[in-house]
Structure 1
Amino acid sequence: MAVPEEAPLVAGIELGGTKCVVLLATGPDDIRAEARIATTTPQETLDAIEDRLREWRIKHRFQAIGVAGFGPLALDPRRPDYGCIVNTPKPGWDGTSLIQRALRFGVPVGLDTDVNAAALAEGRWGGAQGLQSWAYVTVGTGIGVGAIVEGRPIRGLGHAELGHLRVPRLKGRSWPGACPYHGDCVEGIASGPAIAIQAGFPAESLSRTDPVWDDVVHALTGCFHNLVLTTAPERILIGGGVGLGQPHLIPRIRKALAESLNGYAVAPRIAEDIEAFLAHPSLGNRAGPLGSIALALGSLATVEAAPILRSAQACA
């Protein structure tokens, strides 16, 4: 596909728990450069990212930077900890600023969680195009939910953390769950590590009839039930290593969700085309990296916010 001459060239950083993907692109059909960097210590990881951005800035003069990071993140630009990772269980990363170095390049910077960014990418280029409200759910090492309402991620005191909702357990289940904060929240029951602890094997090694999947389907269905009745998404897209790697899950969750909603409120509209309502993301595993490009492009659309962003201070 030909790229319009006016398409701005931007840089994006998807900072994940094990690796970072750094892109130089105008969109999914025009990726000029890509780098993968292991997530080790904050100093080592951010030094490597900054070196790559500096090289690209000299050669290509990109116009903005998008930063999509694992969280939780402080996302209130009025606060001095804006752009910092907060209360993370990842050793060494609590209090690390993900935005301070990006601001050194003197271009607009867009920042959000990795899952919100992926949701925005699906809205711009993927399976949520043309919608006003939708959700992107990643089921993998953790469970994150990017809930978009009227084209914008939910925001209040912080960003939404729907993967940590508490939902009813299946009868007879007493396993305490794997979440270090909440035990048997959705992430504590249905994430990849939770599945491995409960089953004794990683998710990819389990048969589709393993009883652990009953807990996973039940927990995710409870999460989606609550999501439908709070943010009223027009579509829910399920990605992540477990979400994309277990094709038997979505049909089971579709059936369970219809039964859970039991015809209430918007349930009949969902039932009209539940295959489209609950689906895989069109961008697949590229939704995350492209989310950082979506954030960069979004920062250009709201460039008047740049003076606020430049005031961000160190986290600690």
Structure 2
Amino acid sequence: MLGAIEAGGTKFVCAVADEDFNIIDRVSFPTTIPSEACSNVLQFFDQYDLKSIGIGSFGPIEVDINSLKYGFVTDTPKKYWSNFNFVGTMKKRYDIPIFWTTDVNAAAYGEKIRGAAIDSKSCLYLTAGTGIGGGMIINDQILEGFSHPEMGHILVRKHENDPFVGACPFHKDCLEGMASGKAIEERFNKKGNELSESDSFWEIEANYIAQALMTYTLTLRPEKMILGGGVMAQDHLFHSIRSQFEKLLSGYVSTPDLTSYIVSPGLKGDAGIVGALLFVFVQKDRFLSF
């Protein structure tokens, strides 16, 4: 059996699959404090004889296998999780290969291999949920440098009709601070799915996302950009994002047709967990034996 964890800012998803990546069983539960979340993870996986586990986690995380903090969640906005040794906690129970990356890298990988970008050489996956993050795949490889990208914390121009100061504890009015699910809740004291589709705020939200996509287009030039997460469950946002993206880009560089360039996930809500499973098999060379 192969195990996988998608550790998101709002919920954990755990799954086990056979070696053909067919999911046999899965469970989800809220992302609470580390001890409680990991207890739920262990309780689920203890039922199975696992050969390996792939983990896609909210970040920032340490992905440098030469670092003493490899496998840690680092200085995250998620309360109680900073400097938590995620991989080490799993290794204490399971003496098997554990593969470690961000949740958005896992989702991007899933979409590239099995989802909306299956026919593309490169793709960018951006999730807008409790927080905002992004991952980039080029020729089946996850893009990383000194560490993994933090696409949710790029700076954006504040919309002229937006008085909100921002929700990011590190940067206030970065992309995540202005456009994440947390930012929406702090603005309105309600979740995005409780707002009417006709609410004028959605034009502001679309503008922030479009600004980010313009930046990614100019810097990374992906063949496809995939937008997931709870905020993007508002399907009406896609038309506005594409329209505002086109205006912002102003014809400076060419892109594919926007209806095939800016798209929703082909794997729907399973991109992260499928990507974590696939990551186990394909990225064996990244295994670090503790």
* Contact map agreement 2:223 2:261 (CA 8 A) in 1: yes
The question of whether the paired residues in 2 share the 8 Å contact of 1:15 and 1:114 is answered with: yes
The offset of 1:32, in angstroms, is 1.2
Residue 75 of structure 1 corresponds to which residue in structure 2?
Answer: 63
Match of residue 7, structure 2, among 4, 8, 15: 15
- Tell me if 1:209 matches 2:198: yes
1:95 corresponding residue in structure 2 = 83
Distance 1:32 1:173, change over 3 A: closer
Structure 2 length-normalised TM: 0.92
Question: Contact between 1:37 and 1:49, CA under 8 Å: does it hold in 2?
Answer: no
Aligned to 2:116: 127
**1:237 aligned partner:** 226
Amino acid at match of 2:14: V
Shift of 1:252: 0.8
What amino acid does structure 2 have at the position aligned with 1:287? A
Q: How does 1:272-283 map to 2 (within 5 A)?
A: 273-283=257-267
Deviation at 1:28, TM superposition (A): 8.7
- The aligned residue for residue 134 of structure 2 is 145
Letter in 2 for 1:235: K
The question of whether the paired residues in 2 share the 8 Å contact of 1:177 and 1:194 is answered with yes
Alignment match, 1:40: 32
* TM-score normalised by the chain length of structure 1: 0.85
Alpha carbons 1:24, 1:33 under 8 Å: kept: yes
Distance in 1 (alpha carbons) for counterparts of 2:177 and 2:162: 13
Gaps of 5+ in 2: none
Separation in 1, partners of 2:97, 2:127:
27
CA deviations on 1:155-208 (whole Å, 9 max, x unpaired) are 122211111110112235442111111111111111112123223432112222
After superposition, the C-alpha distances for 1:92-121 in whole angstroms (9 at most, x for unaligned) are 211111211333533322111111101101
Greater length-normalized contact order (CA 8 Å, ≥ 6 residues apart):
1
Instruction: Answer yes or no: is 1:260 the counterpart of 2:239.
Output: no
| Separation of aligned partners in 2, 1:78 and 1:297 | 21
Structure 2 CA distance for aligned equivalents of residues 36 and 199 of structure 1: 27
For residues 128 and 277 of structure 1, what CA distance do their matches in structure 2 show?
10
Mean Cα displacement is larger for which, 192-201 or 158-167?
Answer: 192-201
Aligned counterpart, 2:184: 195
Distance 2:74 2:146 in 1: 13
Between structure 1 and structure 2, the one with the greater Rg is: 1
Tell me how far 1:50 sits from its aligned partner: 2.4
Q: Give the AA of the match of 2:117.
A: A
Between the two proteins, the alignment pairs up a number of residues equal to 289
> How big is the shift at 1:224?
0.2
Which residue number in structure 2 is paired with residue 291 of structure 1?
275
Name which of structure 1's ranges 28-37 and 73-82 shifts more when overlaid on structure 2.
Answer: 28-37
Q: Tell me if structure 2 keeps the 8 A contact 1:135–1:233.
A: yes
Which one-letter code corresponds to 1:276 in the other structure? S
Question: How many angstroms apart in 2 are the aligned matches of 1:149 and 1:20?
Answer: 27
Q: Kindly, what percent of the aligned residue pairs are identical?
A: 32
Identify the residue that residue 109 of structure 1 maps to in structure 2: 98
Q: Which amino acid aligns with 1:116?
A: N
Q: How big is each residue's C-alpha offset from its partner over 1:53-108, in whole Å with a ceiling of 9 and x where there is no partner? A: 23201xxxx33210111111011000000010011132321111121133353332
For residues 143 and 48 of structure 1, the distance between their equivalents in structure 2, rounded to whole angstroms, comes to: 25
Bigger shift: 93-102 or 42-51?
42-51
1:310 aligns with 2:276: no
Summarize the Cα distance change of 1:38–1:27 in structure 2 as closer, same or farther, 3 Å threshold: farther
Kept after mapping to 2: 8 A contact 1:139/1:238: yes
* Structure 1: unaligned runs, 5 residues or longer: 1-8, 312-316
2:72–2:86 contact (8 Å) kept in structure 1: yes
